[in-house]
Structure 1
Amino acid sequence: MDQALGVLIAIHRTAPAAGFEVLREVSQHTSIKLHAVAEMVVDRALGQSLPEPVERELCQAVQRRPGQDGAPGRPR
């Protein structure tokens, strides 16, 4: 879980407090267990692709959360 939060912070510039909420939302919207979503996010950072529904929900959840600088979270 901590590694997935680190990925969200590093890649998507998500504020640390919002990272867990992003993972939770993706889990709820895709009906995939939270720990499995976290593993997928870490695997994505290692070069694997995400299933399309997970990728879509992750992008949407990140965009709904402010980044570390208060701006909307966006991939670099």
Structure 2
Amino acid sequence: MSVTVTNNSSKTINVNPLYFAITDANGTKHAAELGMDEDQIATVDLAPGENVIGTVTGKGKFKAKTVSFTDGLIGKAVRANVS
């Protein structure tokens, strides 16, 4: 699935494909799979106001309900519905 991360904060955030998780329609959480898509979201530092677009892919067949991004491995998580 294609995702856009926009930094609406006043600090730089780190984006990494490993910081994403996908929750399916049954409530099961799937970690992002690396190297599965040539358009995989990049590992970048986003300054305030910047954004990055890329693909997040999960292993197996499932219907995605939400995707979550955590700023760093222990940062605050943000979740968005999948459309």
Structure 2 length-normalised TM? 0.27
- Structure scoring higher RCO (CA < 8 A, sep ≥ 6) equals 1
Whichever structure has more strand as a proportion of its residues is: 2
Structure 1 length-normalised TM? 0.28
